[in-house]
Structure 1
Amino acid sequence: MGNVFSVSISTEDIAGCCCDCIAARANYLCKLDENRVTLRRGLQKLRELKNDVNRKVDVAERQQMKHLDQVQGWISRVEAMKIEVGQLIGDGAKTIEEKQLCGCCYPKHCISNYMLGKKVAKKLQDEIAGRPTVGLESTFDKVWRSLEEEHTSMIGLYGLGGVGKTTLLTQINNHFLKTSHNFDVVIWVVVSKTPNQERVQTEIWKDKSRHEKAKDIWKALSNKRFVILLDDMWEQMDLLDVGIPLPDRQNKSKLIFTTRSQDLCGEMGAHKKIEVKSLAWKDSWDLFKKYVGEDTLNSDPEISELAEMVAKECCGLPLAIITIGRAMASKVTPQDWKHAIRVLQTCASNFPGMGHRVYPLLKYSYDSLPSKIVQSCFLYCSLFPEDFSIYKETLIWTWLCEGFLDEFDDTDGAKNQGFNIISTLVHACLLEEPSDTKCVKLHDMVRDMALWIIGEMGEMKGKPLVQIRAGLTQAPKFKLTGSPTCLNLSTLLLNLNSDLHMISNGFFQFMPSLRVLSLSNTKIVELPSAISNLVSLQYLDLSDTQIKKLQIEMKNLVKLKVLNLRSTFNLSSIPRGLISSLLMLQAVGMYKCGLYGLVVEGSMDSYGNESFVEELESLKYLIDLSVSIASAPEFQRFLSYRKLPSCTLAIYLKMFKGLSSLNLSSLGNMKHLIVLAMEDFDSLREIKFDWAGKGKETVEYSNLNPKVKCFHGFHEVVINRCQMLKNLTWLIFAPNLLYLRIGQCDEMEEVIGNGANDGGNLSPFTKLIQLELNGGLPQLKNVYWNPLPFLYLDRIEVVGCPKLKKLPLNSNRKQEWWNELEWEDEATLNTFLPSFRAI
């Protein structure tokens, strides 16, 4: 087996480490006497430590306590080590005496001396100290399997700070010591962010130049099969410049590195990028119990349940689990644990070790972000609730309205900048991107770190006021019925406060700088007329509220860019001229809102939607629109407008009563349309469209042209309560579909009909991420007639589909339904099984 070195050095110092490693074999002979002295000193320290442990055991036993099996196991291993090391020291003394008498160059002595020297050196070297890989076993197995792959020469392990990357790399290093392998040398190097270069270089290389080091490394490694383990990389390293031959199939060498940056994995040319993720709950709990100790957990009947609550506050981050577990190891009263829960939930930075150990380590990733703008955008994410999925579009619009995105003058450029920043934060492991790519999430511990930066370090100090999911009746330091003076407040998020029903007229009186206001998911019924005082307001989110009408005083919000009325089902009144007076509006969200049946104040008509749509059409800067439409005539009028269809991103069609067929041809011309929802079409039997501009209304599936992509922009399609529809075969013309949700369609027999079988080389759903067949599909028998690759499929949900026996997968509602599923082969079953969950 190869030799292992553990040393913290910079990129330039890798040469020293490599050449020391190659020279180690000669040192087995030449440094036997020196190593023997070092081994004796180490044995003495081990004896002293064992004596200390024995004294602690004696004290504990006198207190009627019982020592753990781990303690007894350690003592036994020390006794065995003492015997083995004593023998080595004795053999070493004899060998040195023989060398002094006879010289060490005689062949009969050389081999035995070499083997003895190697044993002594190995005892000194031993394993690199590391924690057990609790919860990382599957990732370890994945890495080790990758090492055995011929085509994988470089592996990048990336993940959040404190998630266990170094622990994992340590276990990989130590596994080389325990198993046989074909590598000549294994080298471990810590490439820290701010290493002490001079000291390490002087100790290893003295007067050698960087160029000489590179030459020596190349000479030493070019004919070797090596494994290099680089821990904690922050910047791209030119291996050739250092002198390391590029690992490839020819030299059969390997390189594994850890980093917090997914981008760095690409920059280094990693053949495989493996994310080290936070621990699942079971593994988190096991690790937490290990550091708290069974004695503490059993010291009071209440503590075990309270300890679970504390462990959950760690959110699967091993560094936090270990830090908090150690801090709680001596806490044996329920009051101590209840206090810990309160501190962790309200001001976690005050918990022992968090503000001095956990957060500073996480902050390295924040400090490494490329600009102040990106840092500000990251900190802004912490204003959203814990464990909350934030729509990317929402995040970008709030950044834009706060003034962070100022790189470009036009909104499209600013939005693209926003998406780039999100990508930067995801790749820095500061934001998480779930399988639902529309959203991002902030790891709770990262969010706490961001709030610590804001509060403790003065970044954005005094700007945000956040009170989320708090059963809000008052905000910090003042009541919602008062008139707080907040002259510099720029963002006010009151999201998800289900007890918030009313805001007094004076509440917004002294907030002249407020730019972003969110009342989403509250029970607000109406806005106070004093909202007119918010002359700087650019972003207003009223989505998922009980609001019934908009105030005419909103005309004063002349800087408003974003108005979100999504899912405002009770909205029934908008003053005439209000929308057209908000000249700066760029985004209007009316998806699933009370637009259908809407009355525009001041109109004598019982149905005033047309004048409202005309106001939308008049908005000069409108680029982002979502609408709800409730009749076929209204749908046709909407499509006839010049501007609105071209800036519509989402359209919700509902309750087209008495309609048996619907022509969707015009949707193919809406290049920015990404979401289509159709609900409550009680008599709709068929979807029509003019195919390929040839004037045909009903699709002739036997003549399909696979190159026709009428709905190339569709990312999401939702079909609910369309009882008479038998299929959705037209979806073969939506090649970029990511999310498909179908529910309560009593007559639907197949998603893609068999009539398209003669349509050539069609392959729908190639980009699909989620498929939900969710209830009320009693006749559904088939999704597609042939197996499909489903390259990106993350989730399939099937509920209420008793006749669906086969899914088109090529690589559980009830147990009996699950058992009746027909799979192409066992490999396909194993590939797609993780995507299923029982309902």
Structure 2
Amino acid sequence: MEQLWDCLMDDSCRKIGVYGMGGVGKTTMIKLIHNRLLEETNKFDHVIWVSVSNFASVTQLQDKLARAIGVCMPENESEMVRAAKLFAMIRTMKNCVLIFDDVWEAFQLEDVGIPEPGADNKSKFVLTARLADVCLRMGCKQIKAELLSEEEAWNLFVEKAGLDVISPHIEPIAKEVAKQCACLPLAIVTIARSLKGVTESCEWRNALEELRDSTRGHHDMRRVFEQLKFSYNHLDDEKHRNCLLYCALYPEDFGIRRKELIERLITGGVIDRMCSRRAAFDKGHAMLNKLEKACLLECVMNKSEDNKQVKMHDLVRDMVIHVNGISSRLMVKSGMHLREIPDGNYWTEDLEMVSLMHNYISGIPSDVSPMCTRISTLLLASNHCLTMIPDPFFMHMATLEVLDLSDTSIEALPSSISKLGKLSALLLRRCAKLRLVPSLEKLILLRKLDLCHAGIKEIPQGIEMLINLRYLNLHTPYLEFLPCGVLSKLLNLQVLITFGASKTSKVKGYEVASLRKLETFSGQFYNIHEFNIFVHSISTRGREPDMYFIQVGEYHTVTFKEEPESFGKHVKLVKCFIGRGDDELVLPNGIQSLDIHDCHGVASLCDISSLNNATNLRSLEISKCDDVKYAFRASSSTHFRSLESLRLIDLLNFVSLSYKAGAAALPNDMFSNLKSFRIHRCPNIKRLFTPGLLLQLHSLSVIEVTFCPQMKDIIAEDNDESIENHSIDMKKTTNHPILPFNLTSKIVYRIN
């Protein structure tokens, strides 16, 4: 509230918007400000309050404003005439604060008849809204009304419920009741007032039990739910409401990773089929942003851009479950510490979505076969103790479309899964003990199969029949091989992940080349020949995957990002001949990161001709390549203008960054964007930079030199240039043979 008051007292701040979720106390805050302004009249001469509420037309806004300033507007006049009259009246009111409470849509002040606040009229315009977008579009300084802290929430509860709540036999229960209000002022005030004067602990326990049961609810919470439901019902379309429903399937107060949630929205059909996965993810992020701005979701701040999360307020979650559970289509018991599945009374024929995620369910009785003839989604993920599902369990679930058994200890899938003909997503992520998967040949509608970190040793039978498959993740540590001819039949694949954990699951170039819709690919090719087949194919059709993570040659440990949306465009070559010959290495034009490990056939990077076309290369690492003596040749046409990071590691015969033939000069912008240079365990290099090369490194901010015992100088002239010709400050000391120099204040030295 003080932030709002400070803005009102600040002459440079003319329009202020307070936004926040329903029930958070925006109107209460603004009323307190309104009353305070009336008491302190030295700053403003007029304070006008307009309650907007719900969506209002320009005419309705004019009527409300006219009543607030005490005038009558004829109904038969046009909006323009009415606006002119209101404008003339309000313009005479200097030092005026105009407050519009509960605004749902942005509007133009002049359309209503409100002069733009400015230094000439010394006026202010304040609004409250549930949507941050309303404040933004009206050009207001935005102030978010936050939830109370736990201490503030308890103090407010005591204030409204009375001092009886701090008696020894009531206080512990009362604090639990207050927690159920989830720091939302409206809920706290409503529940506290309903229990004012109650002194029997049995009544408090009963109230607590009702509040904990979100499907039935305490009768006084209806007002709170109605407030929240109003925002929910006024979302643009059903897709946004369904997005909130998917959020509600997670446990209470759970941080949901954005990427995981968007994957669920795609899998569940909430995000319509789009031209590409990138477009679908963009749509998903836009939907979540809108729900955050509507204060129906909260953004969870995280240092990692790849790990952004959202969270749903407990009461918003209860409201969504309540609204969707009225028709018995929903059963949500995620994160409730269940040790067995709910009994038969919960498994009704009308059920469509069931979430039992994040519990401790260890097994399902063999005689359980729920009669759920309309079920579409069943989420059993993160029941880490779940080892077995009996065959009859899925017998009456022919309509099931999404089955998530990720993060369970299940060892074998029941054969009845083979009969789920409408299944579109089978998620078995991190089922490390899974060994047996029945035939999938009849699941022809399956679009997503996720076996990442599953325990299988061979791919499921019938996978080649899944012609509608869009997403296939085989990032499994025990997978021994991929049968030839399987992948080439999955022509609709957009995401294929076959590499990362297994040493032997390699792919053929022609099979991946046949997947023309592929947008994201991770795989290991047998050799340069197979890799070149793939690269030639994407060059021929003029489009390469948006993201790929490729290793060529022998298996080598690699830091692998499991999330497809985090790949970038990365290639790693291991124990390959990369020199000139019949199978000369061809790199994709869009490559961003290249690692060359234990390869032979080239003395410098400039011997790899396809690097000429790698204009987007940002990261380059060379390690254990004994043939490499130089990083580049001065006479070469190869440029590294986009390169930002260069790492040279364990190069036994490496002697210099550049090989200079005769009087050849280095191109001026060869390394113009290089920011980080690291050289590690290169025993024969004696100097790092010549003065001429150093002057080209305009962006360099980090240098690391470690375990290079022959290194004598960071900077030293060669036979063709004199150090006196360059304006570089060399520092020398008798204490250390390798000396730092003043290039920029950002350079870091770690020299051993």
Q: Same fold (TM over 0.5)?
A: yes
Contact 1:185–1:225 (8 Å) recurs in 2: yes
1:665-676 equivalent positions in 2, closer than 5 A: 666=571
Number of the residue aligned with 1:246: 116
Q: Does 1:379 align with 2:245?
A: yes
Contact 2:413–2:438 (8 Å) recurs in 1: no
1:57-68 equivalent positions in 2, closer than 5 A: none
Q: Does 1:760 align with 2:646?
A: no
Q: In the TM superposition, what is the alpha-carbon distance from 1:558 to its structure 2 partner?
A: 1.8
Cα distance 1:608–1:310, how it changes in 2: closer, same or farther (>3 A)? same
Q: Does 1:288 align with 2:157?
A: yes
Write the deviation string for residues 700-726 of structure 1: whole angstroms up to 9, x where unpaired: 89x9x9972669xxxxxxxxxxxxxxx
Number of the residue aligned with 2:393: 507
Q: In the TM superposition, what is the alpha-carbon distance from 1:614 to its structure 2 partner?
A: 7.9
Q: Does 1:396 align with 2:262?
A: yes
1:410-421 equivalent positions in 2, closer than 5 A: 413-421=279-287
* Aligned partner of 1:609 among 498, 501, 505: 505
Q: Percent identity?
A: 29
Contact 1:471–1:499 (8 Å) recurs in 2: no
Cα distance 1:407–1:545, how it changes in 2: closer, same or farther (>3 A)? closer
Q: Does 1:319 align with 2:163?
A: no
Q: In the TM superposition, what is the alpha-carbon distance from 1:404 to its structure 2 partner?
A: 3.3
Contact 1:599–1:607 (8 Å) recurs in 2: no
Instruction: Calculate the TM-score normalised by the size of structure 2.
Output: 0.64
Q: Does 1:646 align with 2:517?
A: no
Q: In the TM superposition, what is the alpha-carbon distance from 1:449 to its structure 2 partner?
A: 0.4
Q: In the TM superposition, what is the alpha-carbon distance from 1:483 to its structure 2 partner?
A: 2.1
Cα distance 1:283–1:622, how it changes in 2: closer, same or farther (>3 A)? farther
Number of the residue aligned with 2:714: none
Cα distance 1:407–1:206, how it changes in 2: closer, same or farther (>3 A)? farther
Write the deviation string for residues 18-53 of structure 1: whole angstroms up to 9, x where unpaired: xxxxxxxxxxxxxxxxxxxxxxxxxxxxxxxxxxxx
Number of the residue aligned with 1:276: 145
Once superposed, what is the RMSD of the aligned Cα atoms? 4.9
What is the rounded CA distance, in whole Å, between the counterparts of 1:444 and 1:360 in structure 2? 15
* Aligned partner of 1:234 among 78, 101, 104: 104
DSSP-derived class of the 2:434 partner? coil
Q: Does 1:496 align with 2:363?
A: no
Aligned partner of 1:558: which letter?
I
Cα distance 1:577–1:199, how it changes in 2: closer, same or farther (>3 A)? closer
Write the deviation string for residues 372-391 of structure 1: whole angstroms up to 9, x where unpaired: 33323333332222222233
Q: Does 1:340 align with 2:207?
A: yes
Instruction: Calculate the TM-score normalised by the size of structure 1.
Output: 0.58
Q: Does 1:708 align with 2:642?
A: yes
Cα distance 1:234–1:648, how it changes in 2: closer, same or farther (>3 A)? same
Number of the residue aligned with 1:143: 4
Q: In the TM superposition, what is the alpha-carbon distance from 1:192 to its structure 2 partner?
A: 1.3
Cα distance 1:420–1:484, how it changes in 2: closer, same or farther (>3 A)? same
Contact 1:549–1:572 (8 Å) recurs in 2: yes
Q: In the TM superposition, what is the alpha-carbon distance from 1:555 to its structure 2 partner?
A: 3.0
Contact 1:405–1:417 (8 Å) recurs in 2: yes
Aligned partner of 2:255: which letter?
S
Number of the residue aligned with 2:341: 474
What is the rounded CA distance, in whole Å, between the counterparts of 1:194 and 1:243 in structure 2? 18
Write the deviation string for residues 656-713 of structure 1: whole angstroms up to 9, x where unpaired: 4699xxxx9748969799xx9x9xx9xxxxxx99799599976989x9x9972669xx
What is the rounded CA distance, in whole Å, between the counterparts of 1:331 and 1:670 in structure 2? 74
Q: In the TM superposition, what is the alpha-carbon distance from 1:757 to its structure 2 partner?
A: 11
What is the rounded CA distance, in whole Å, between the counterparts of 1:658 and 1:233 in structure 2? 54
Contact 1:468–1:497 (8 Å) recurs in 2: no
1:299-310 equivalent positions in 2, closer than 5 A: 299-300=168-169, 303-310=170-177
Aligned partner of 2:465: which letter?
S
Aligned partner of 2:698: which letter?
G
Q: Does 1:525 align with 2:411?
A: yes
Cα distance 1:244–1:561, how it changes in 2: closer, same or farther (>3 A)? same
Write the deviation string for residues 138-160 of structure 1: whole angstroms up to 9, x where unpaired: xx222223334444321111110
Q: In the TM superposition, what is the alpha-carbon distance from 1:527 to its structure 2 partner?
A: 1.6
DSSP-derived class of the 2:4 partner? helix
What is the rounded CA distance, in whole Å, between the counterparts of 2:184 and 2:695 in structure 1? 50
In terms of fraction of residues, the more helix-rich structure is 1
Cα distance 1:296–1:521, how it changes in 2: closer, same or farther (>3 A)? same
Contact 1:555–1:582 (8 Å) recurs in 2: yes
What is the rounded CA distance, in whole Å, between the counterparts of 2:463 and 2:425 in structure 1? 14
Q: Does 1:350 align with 2:288?
A: no
Aligned partner of 1:609: which letter?
S
Number of the residue aligned with 2:498: none
* Aligned partner of 1:184 among 42, 45, 51: 45
What is the rounded CA distance, in whole Å, between the counterparts of 1:434 and 1:324 in structure 2? 28
What is the rounded CA distance, in whole Å, between the counterparts of 2:365 and 2:511 in structure 1? 33
DSSP-derived class of the 1:230 partner? strand
What is the rounded CA distance, in whole Å, between the counterparts of 1:288 and 1:427 in structure 2? 28
* Aligned partner of 2:370 among 484, 487, 505: 484
What is the rounded CA distance, in whole Å, between the counterparts of 1:221 and 1:206 in structure 2? 14
DSSP-derived class of the 1:498 partner? coil
Aligned partner of 1:285: which letter?
W
Q: Does 1:553 align with 2:439?
A: yes
Write the deviation string for residues 226-274 of structure 1: whole angstroms up to 9, x where unpaired: 221111001122211221111234443221111011111222122x222
DSSP-derived class of the 1:156 partner? strand
Aligned partner of 1:610: which letter?
K
What is the rounded CA distance, in whole Å, between the counterparts of 1:756 and 1:571 in structure 2? 52
Contact 2:457–2:478 (8 Å) recurs in 1: no
1:130-279 equivalent positions in 2, closer than 5 A: 140-179=1-40, 181-193=42-54, 204-206=70-72, 208=74, 209=77, 213-223=82-92, 224-270=94-140, 272-279=141-148
Contact 1:572–1:598 (8 Å) recurs in 2: no
Aligned partner of 2:143: which letter?
I
What is the rounded CA distance, in whole Å, between the counterparts of 2:86 and 2:54 in structure 1? 23
Q: Does 1:516 align with 2:402?
A: yes
Q: In the TM superposition, what is the alpha-carbon distance from 1:295 to its structure 2 partner?
A: 1.9
What is the rounded CA distance, in whole Å, between the counterparts of 2:571 and 2:557 in structure 1? 20
What is the rounded CA distance, in whole Å, between the counterparts of 1:328 and 1:314 in structure 2? 13
Contact 2:321–2:332 (8 Å) recurs in 1: no
Aligned length: 567
What is the rounded CA distance, in whole Å, between the counterparts of 1:579 and 1:655 in structure 2? 25
What is the rounded CA distance, in whole Å, between the counterparts of 1:247 and 1:374 in structure 2? 35
What is the rounded CA distance, in whole Å, between the counterparts of 1:563 and 1:639 in structure 2? 28
What is the rounded CA distance, in whole Å, between the counterparts of 2:589 and 2:105 in structure 1? 44
Structure 1 residues 386-395 or 317-326, which shifts more?
A: 386-395
Cα distance 1:394–1:515, how it changes in 2: closer, same or farther (>3 A)? farther
Structure 1 unaligned residues grouped into runs of 5+: 1-139, 682-687, 712-731, 736-744, 746-752, 765-807, 811-839
DSSP-derived class of the 2:441 partner? helix
DSSP-derived class of the 1:311 partner? helix
Higher RCO (CA < 8 A, seq sep 6+) = 1
DSSP-derived class of the 1:377 partner? helix
Q: Does 1:364 align with 2:364?
A: no
Write the deviation string for residues 728-749 of structure 1: whole angstroms up to 9, x where unpaired: xxxx9899xxxxxxxxx9xxxx
Q: In the TM superposition, what is the alpha-carbon distance from 1:484 to its structure 2 partner?
A: 2.0
What is the rounded CA distance, in whole Å, between the counterparts of 2:66 and 2:123 in structure 1? 26
Aligned partner of 1:447: which letter?
R
